[in-house]
């Protein structure tokens, strides 16, 4: 054994130091202003050795440094590096970071609708852009050495996740892959898959947070009048009547609490002593519409008063912020899980007079706000809520959610990053978004709405949300704060905070676009082999045991549910099926009736004449008005007559103002010289209106009330038949019927989940390739693929001589080969989620006769999905017989046929079309103002911009893929008409 102090050992150590000093990693260290952590060193060394790397580390740990080192290696070697991100906002941010370090000449940006220096050696892009490049064989890929996939855990995303796997599978073998992921519990499994498909891959996992995280609960103070100043971990009440208490007992290390850590006894005592109320919710006032707790609903849906449950009072949101400010725990991100809740929280802080900024900070904020908002047309400021937003920012308070205008969100992010905004009320989307670290993260509740039900926050989600607490290089420690609320269990919270369960699950599935591209590039057989290397198949092969156990548990639960819903009077499963059919029929009839009512109201508006005295029975304009002008051609929603109200105001009356319809009850004379701007003339006409109404009060003069229209359900034969069957069913008279019905609903829901699991188990082996085969069968049925090789060009039947049978062997071989047809060639350029539906509409000429606004509106049906279904029938500009309405009817018909075909082939059906954005997009593309577009709708400005961006994306694909020059020109015109105003100046 060589002595470490021997000359030989000293010489070897000296040589090692010399070699290390000549590495690219040593050069990279010199441009950093901080030392590398061990996990960063390990990952960078693996990269320089020529290996791929997977880095899984907590939020804020510095994973992106490894990606930046890959960029450094590419530039040092005269080759290219692509840095991919899941969302445009992250791409924009990373582009700015890299451009500052390496200069704008060496860095480019590609995000679909933004192209900057795309041929640069370093290009930042969204993952979809890289996927499209790979399928198109783009020359930009020449010389590519490194691809960084930031936030690679996005591959679990149901809708966009498959893109990550496509890129990983199809990248050339000589490209080194740098995968950056949040902490996941199965990083080794994911690394094993990367090793299989990409070759030598180093898996670097770091559980250590660079800034320790403390766990707290904020409870309503039992003595809210006290106001002592105290240190961060003070154990006393603060401003606003809220106490901040540690979650764990004092001897527990919060960075490593272990299993079942003991709870802070002071917290348990505070829970017992906390004031109790039935009126205060998160907003401080409680009650509907004030952001209050919705309350616990007991069995049967009956509301149980919180006092009877012993509910503790939840501190008001402004009191929570005040308490954090007193403990020096700002800036903070305050997760509310509701857009309305975020906006309500800001309003509550303003009402409470909360101000978190100094005069100097306020001046800086107002300067940034004015600069960032300079491009917004003045007429849009009111509809965007600009003034309230700007005032809140000046006080250091803001909201952040997907419904905000992108430029507003970006301004909030900029000001928060600069430390000027002190608290941001955010939805959970911020946890997956851009880099916005804070000193503290607050969770209002541990329950969220997932789109279908209220569900508990998982340990992985808790870790993701609280991961932003603690700014590296600024804070000594971060703080996760949960606000006390009804049902909060500190033991459950400790379990969430101490677990690191965030498994990565593949969402990969073959798409139609993927199928035609793979067949065109490598053929069907090779494509099947490629898809069998997906992470989805890798997990399916490993996970069948767990699936089988889950299916067994479901089967036992189903048996229990079936027993609970058993009725001694008859087959309750049959009875429950009747109830479901009745509910579906009633919903269909309700929508049809809504469409009919709207048409009747529009017709009534069209019959109005100047001088008509009109009764508006309900709505915002309820009362009597006199018509001044008919308002012909005023908009897509039918006439918008100008009217004079009883209180002498001149207004525009719209269909939305009169949901219950209108009635003409009298007529008054309007002088030819009448000028609505002259108060005296308005007063005289209002007097005539009152006189006319007074005359109607004489016996026999006032028209009788219009007969109420019979509900469509009352005359529907199918519904009557179903209801009769329901009443005649023996289970209908059972006294325990509703209890049985609740168990039947649970049985039905679980049965669907169970059937899905059983199908997954049955199709485990080669399941992805099987889905690919079914996808190809659909494409072959529709003519996008055909049997035979490119050289042969014919179908199988054409290859066989009818008389001699010669060629049968060749035909059999050709049957295993597929060729992309001419229609399939332009399907290759359609990357929309509903790619096949769009392709069929193009091929059948469904949209050929539409002008630019109508084409944009039609395309919106293929991308839009409402956040909630209000059951109302969407309005279609041009009326039910217009060109757009006919095109939409045909689009729905095409969707229905595609849907049937997919079901026949055992594929998940294409999502149902949503016409809810048609009117708004048509108005916008026709040049209407933002106020006119959004008035009367529930679409938020930020959502509208985001959907318009997606419409533009599909239109851009049409501009390159549509089979006719005319439609390509219309698509280009539509892009120009949609990309204006708030849509044009929003960067994401």
Q: What percent of the chain has pLDDT over 90?
A: 26
Give the pairing type, strands 623-629 and 454-456.
unpaired
Dihedral of the CA atoms 198, 204, 210, 215 (nearest 10)? Answer: 90
**CA pair distance 599, 881, nearest whole angstrom:** 12
**CA pair distance 335, 399, nearest whole angstrom:** 10
**CA pair distance 219, 240, nearest whole angstrom:** 11
Order of strands, edge to edge, in the sheet holding 80-85?
115-116, 107-110, 122-126, 80-85, 144-149, 176-181, 52-56, 201-205
784 vs 802: which has the higher pLDDT: 784
Q: Phi-psi region for residue 534, left (φ > 0), alpha (ψ -120 to 50) or beta?
A: beta
Which residues does 974 contact at the CB level (< 8 Å), separation at least 6?
A: 852, 853, 855, 856, 859, 925, 955
Which backbone phi and psi does 246 adopt, to 5 degrees?
A: -65, 150
Residue 856 has pLDDT above 50, yes or no: yes
User: Which range has the top average pLDDT, 29-33, 255-259, 449-453, 970-974?
Assistant: 970-974
Element (H, E) at 481: strand 478-483
pLDDT at position 452 is 62
808 vs 854: which has the higher pLDDT: 854
| Overall residue count recorded for the chain in this entry | 988
**CA pair distance 875, 637, nearest whole angstrom:** 8
User: Which of 142, 150, 23, 140 lies closest to 76 in space, CA to CA?
Assistant: 23
In this structure, of 48-52, 558-562, 714-718, 747-751, the range with the lowest mean pLDDT score is 714-718
Output the CA–CA distances (angstroms, integers) from residue 370 to 225, 366, 378, 411, in the order listed. Answer: 39, 6, 12, 10
The residues that bridge with 642 in the sheet, in sequence order, are 629, 652
pLDDT at position 653 is 86
pLDDT at position 225 is 47
Angle CA 639–640–643, to nearest 5: 130
Asked whether 857 and 884 are in contact (CB, 8 A), the reply is yes
Give the pairing type, strands 454-456 and 447-449.
antiparallel
Residues 975-979: what's their mean pLDDT? 93
The DSSP call for residue 37 is: P
- Give Rg (Cα) of the chain: 32
**CB neighbourhood size of 673 (10 A):** 7
Asked whether 227 and 238 are in contact (CB, 8 A), the reply is yes
Question: In the predicted model, what is the mean pLDDT of the chain?
Answer: 81
**CA pair distance 246, 508, nearest whole angstrom:** 42
Residue 502 has pLDDT above 80, yes or no: no
Which stretches within 220-316 are classed as H helix?
Answer: 265-273, 306-309
Q: pLDDT band at 457, cuts 50/70/90? A: confident
The DSSP call for residue 224 is: T
User: Which of 155, 177, 213, 195 lies closest to 508 in space, CA to CA?
Assistant: 155
**CA pair distance 341, 967, nearest whole angstrom:** 44
Output the CA–CA distances (angstroms, integers) from residue 361 to 235, 321, 346, in the order listed. Answer: 31, 18, 19
**CA pair distance 863, 833, nearest whole angstrom:** 7
**CB neighbourhood size of 356 (10 A):** 20
pLDDT at position 279 is 40
Which stretches within 607-736 are classed as H helix?
Answer: 679-696, 717-728
* DSSP 3-state of 284: coil
Q: pLDDT band at 402, cuts 50/70/90? A: confident
Which backbone phi and psi does 28 adopt, to 5 degrees?
A: -65, -40
* DSSP 3-state of 331: coil
Give the pairing type, strands 478-483 and 440-443.
parallel
Which backbone phi and psi does 211 adopt, to 5 degrees?
A: -120, 120
User: Which of 202, 151, 201 lies closest to 171 in space, CA to CA?
Assistant: 201
Residue 936 has pLDDT above 80, yes or no: no
Residues 873-882: what's their mean pLDDT? 78
In this structure, of 319-323, 748-752, 839-843, 956-960, the range with the lowest mean pLDDT score is 748-752
pLDDT at position 224 is 52
User: Which of 418, 406, 274 lies closest to 360 in space, CA to CA?
Assistant: 418
Q: What is the pLDDT of residues 747-763, one digit of tens each?
A: 888 888 888 877 766 66
Which is it for the CA torsion 853, 855, 860, 861, positive or negative?
A: positive
Q: DSSP letters of 209-222?
A: -SS-EEEEEEEE-S
Q: What is the pLDDT of residues 416-428, one digit of tens each?
A: 988 999 999 998 7
- Across 325-410, where does the E strand assignment appear? 332-335, 397-400
Which backbone phi and psi does 594 adopt, to 5 degrees?
A: -65, -40
Asked whether 640 and 634 are in contact (CB, 8 A), the reply is yes
Q: What is the pLDDT of residues 687-709, one digit of tens each?
A: 988 888 887 766 555 555 544 55
**CB neighbourhood size of 822 (10 A):** 10
**CA pair distance 553, 753, nearest whole angstrom:** 12
**CB neighbourhood size of 50 (10 A):** 11
In this structure, of 292-306, 385-399, 886-900, the range with the lowest mean pLDDT score is 292-306
**CA pair distance 971, 525, nearest whole angstrom:** 36
Angle CA 564–569–574, to nearest 5: 70
Q: pLDDT band at 765, cuts 50/70/90? A: low
Element (H, E) at 461: helix 459-466
Element (H, E) at 347: helix 339-351
3-class DSSP string for 162-185: HHHHHHHHHCCCCCEEEEEECCCC
pLDDT at position 857 is 94
Q: What is the reported pTM?
A: 0.68
Which is it for the CA torsion 826, 827, 829, 832, positive or negative?
A: positive
In this structure, of 2-6, 94-98, 168-172, 212-216, the range with the lowest mean pLDDT score is 2-6
The residues that bridge with 201 in the sheet, in sequence order, are 52
**CA pair distance 400, 408, nearest whole angstrom:** 9
**CB neighbourhood size of 927 (10 A):** 11
* DSSP 3-state of 790: coil
pLDDT at position 451 is 60
Give the pairing type, strands 642-645 and 650-652.
antiparallel
**CA pair distance 201, 181, nearest whole angstrom:** 14
Which backbone phi and psi does 407 adopt, to 5 degrees?
A: -65, -30
* Longest distance between any two alpha carbons in the chain, whole Å: 122
pLDDT at position 72 is 93
Give the pairing type, strands 623-629 and 612-616.
antiparallel
* DSSP 3-state of 644: strand
**CB neighbourhood size of 240 (10 A):** 24
Q: What is the pLDDT of residues 198-215, one digit of tens each?
A: 889 999 998 888 888 899
**CA pair distance 762, 750, nearest whole angstrom:** 18
Q: Is the peptide bond before 194 cis (omega within 30 degrees of 0)?
A: no
Q: Phi-psi region for residue 793, left (φ > 0), alpha (ψ -120 to 50) or beta?
A: left
Element (H, E) at 129: helix 127-136
Q: What is the pLDDT of residues 639-663, one digit of tens each?
A: 888 999 988 888 888 887 887 788 8
The residues that bridge with 469 in the sheet, in sequence order, are 438
Q: Please classify residue 157 by burial: count the beta carbons closer than 10 Å to its beta carbon, then call 0-12 exposed, 13-18 middle and 19+ buried.
A: middle
How does 650-667 read in b/e, with b if 16+ C-beta sit within 10 Å?
ebebbbbbbeebbbbbbe
């Amino acid at each position: 054994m060589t002595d470490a102090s021997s000359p030989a050992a000293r010489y070897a150590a000296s040589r090692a130091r010399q070699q290390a000093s000549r590495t690219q990693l040593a050069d990279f260290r010199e441009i950093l202003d901080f030392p590398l952590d061990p996990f960063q060193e390990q990952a960078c060394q693996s990269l320089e050795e020529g290996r791929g790397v997977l880095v899984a580390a907590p939020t804020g740990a510095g994973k992106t440094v490894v990606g930046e080192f890959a960029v450094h290696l590419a530039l040092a070697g005269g080759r290219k590096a692509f840095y991919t991100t899941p969302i445009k906002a992250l791409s924009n941010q990373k582009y700015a970071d890299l451009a500052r370090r390496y200069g704008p000449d060496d860095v480019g940006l590609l995000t679909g609708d933004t192209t900057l220096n795309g041929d640069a050696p370093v290009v930042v892009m969204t993952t979809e852009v890289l996927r499209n490049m790979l399928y198109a064989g783009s020359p930009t890929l020449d010389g590519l050495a490194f691809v960084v996939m930031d936030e690679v855990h996005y591959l679990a995303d149901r809708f966009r996740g498959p893109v990550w796997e496509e890129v990983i599978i199809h990248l050339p073998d000589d490209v080194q892959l740098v995968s950056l992921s949040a902490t996941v519990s199965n990083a080794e499994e994911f690394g094993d898959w990367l090793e299989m498909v990409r070759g030598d891959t180093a898996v670097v996992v770091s559980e250590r947070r660079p800034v320790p995280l403390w766990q707290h609960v904020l409870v309503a103070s039992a003595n809210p009048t006290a106001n002592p100043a105290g240190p961060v971990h003070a154990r006393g009440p603060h401003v606003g009547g809220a106490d901040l208490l540690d979650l764990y007992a004092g001897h527990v290390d919060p960075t490593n609490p272990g299993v079942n850590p003991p709870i802070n006894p002071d917290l348990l005592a505070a829970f017992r002593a906390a004031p109790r109320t039935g009126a205060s919710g998160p907003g401080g006032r409680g009650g509907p519409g004030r952001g209050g707790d919705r309350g616990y609903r007991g069995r049967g849906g009956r509301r149980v008063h919180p006092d009877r449950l012993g509910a503790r009072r939840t501190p008001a949101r402004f009191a929570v912020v005040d308490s954090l400010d007193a403990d020096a725990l700002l800036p903070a991100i305050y997760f509310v899980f509701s857009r309305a809740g975020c906006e309500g929280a800001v309003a509550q802080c303003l009402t409470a007079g909360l101000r978190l900024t100094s005069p100097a900070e306020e001046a800086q904020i107002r300067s940034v706000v004015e600069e960032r908002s300079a491009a917004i047309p003045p007429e849009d400021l009111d509809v965007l809520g600009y003034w309230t937003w700007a005032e809140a920012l000046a006080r250091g308070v803001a909201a952040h959610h997907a419904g905000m205008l992108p430029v507003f969100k970006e301004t909030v992010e900029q000001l928060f990053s600069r430390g000027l905004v002190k608290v941001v009320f955010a939805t959970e989307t911020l946890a997956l978004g851009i880099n916005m670290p804070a000193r503290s993260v607050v969770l209002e509740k541990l329950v969220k709405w997932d789109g279908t039900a209220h569900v508990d926050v998982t340990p992985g989600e808790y870790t993701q949300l609280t991961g932003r607490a603690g700014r590296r290089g600024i804070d000594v420690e971060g703080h996760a704060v949960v606000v006390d609320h009804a049902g909060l269990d500190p033991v459950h919270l400790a379990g969430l905070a101490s677990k690191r369960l965030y498994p990565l699950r593949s969402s990969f599935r073959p798409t139609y676009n993927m199928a035609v591209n793979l067949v065109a590039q490598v053929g069907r057989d090779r494509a099947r082999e490629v898809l069998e290397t997906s992470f989805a198949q890798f997990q399916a092969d490993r996970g069948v045991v767990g699936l089988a156990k889950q299916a067994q548990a479901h089967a036992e639960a189903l048996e229990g549910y079936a027993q609970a819903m058993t009725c001694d009077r008859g087959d309750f499963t049959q009875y429950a099926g009747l109830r479901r059919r009745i509910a579906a029929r009633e919903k269909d009839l309700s929508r049809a009736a809504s469409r009919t009512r709207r048409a009747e109201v529009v017709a009534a508006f069209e019959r109005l004449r100047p001088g008509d005295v009109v009764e508006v029975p309900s709505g915002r304009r309820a009362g009597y008005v006199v018509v001044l002008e008919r308002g012909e051609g005023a908009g897509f929603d039918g006439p918008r007559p100008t009217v004079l109200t009883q209180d002498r105001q001149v207004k525009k009356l719209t269909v939305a103002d009169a949901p219950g319809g209108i009635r003409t009850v009298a007529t008054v004379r309007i002088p030819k010289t009448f000028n609505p701007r002259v108060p005296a003339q308005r007063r005289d006409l209002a007097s005539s209106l009152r006189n006319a109404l007074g005359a109607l009060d004489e016996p026999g003069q006032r028209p009788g009330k219009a007969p109420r229209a019979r509900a469509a359900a009352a005359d529907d034969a199918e519904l009557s038949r179903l209801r009769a069957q329901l009443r005649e069913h023996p289970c209908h008279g059972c006294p325990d019927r509703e209890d049985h019905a609740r168990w039947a609903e649970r049985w039905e829901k679980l049965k669907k989940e169970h059937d899905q699991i059983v199908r997954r188990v049955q199709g485990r082996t080669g399941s992805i390739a099987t889905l690919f085969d079914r996808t190809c069968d659909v494409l072959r049925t529709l003519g996008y693929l055909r049997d035979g090789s490119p050289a042969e060009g014919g179908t199988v039947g054409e290859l066989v001589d009818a008389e001699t049978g010669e060629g049968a062997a060749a035909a059999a071989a050709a049957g295993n080969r597929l060729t992309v047809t001419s229609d399939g060639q332009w399907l290759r350029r359609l990357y929309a989620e509903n790619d096949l539906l769009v392709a069929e509409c193009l091929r059948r000429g469904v949209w050929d006769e539409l002008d630019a606004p109508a084409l944009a509106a039609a395309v919106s049906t293929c991308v839009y999905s409402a956040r909630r279904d209000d059951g109302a029938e969407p309005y279609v500009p041009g009326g039910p017989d217009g060109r757009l309405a006919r095109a939409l009817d045909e689009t729905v018909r095409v969707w229905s046929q595609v849907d049937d075909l997919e079901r026949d082939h055992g594929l998940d059906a294409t999502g149902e079309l949503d016409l809810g954005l048609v009117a708004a997009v048509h108005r916008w593309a026709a040049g209407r103002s933002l106020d006119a577009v959004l008035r009367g709708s529930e679409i938020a400005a930020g959502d509208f911009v985001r959907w318009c961006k997606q419409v533009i994306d599909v239109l851009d694909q049409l501009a390159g893929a549509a089979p006719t020059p005319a439609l390509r020109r219309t698509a280009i015109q539509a892009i120009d008409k949609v990309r204006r105003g708030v849509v044009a100046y929003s960067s994401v």
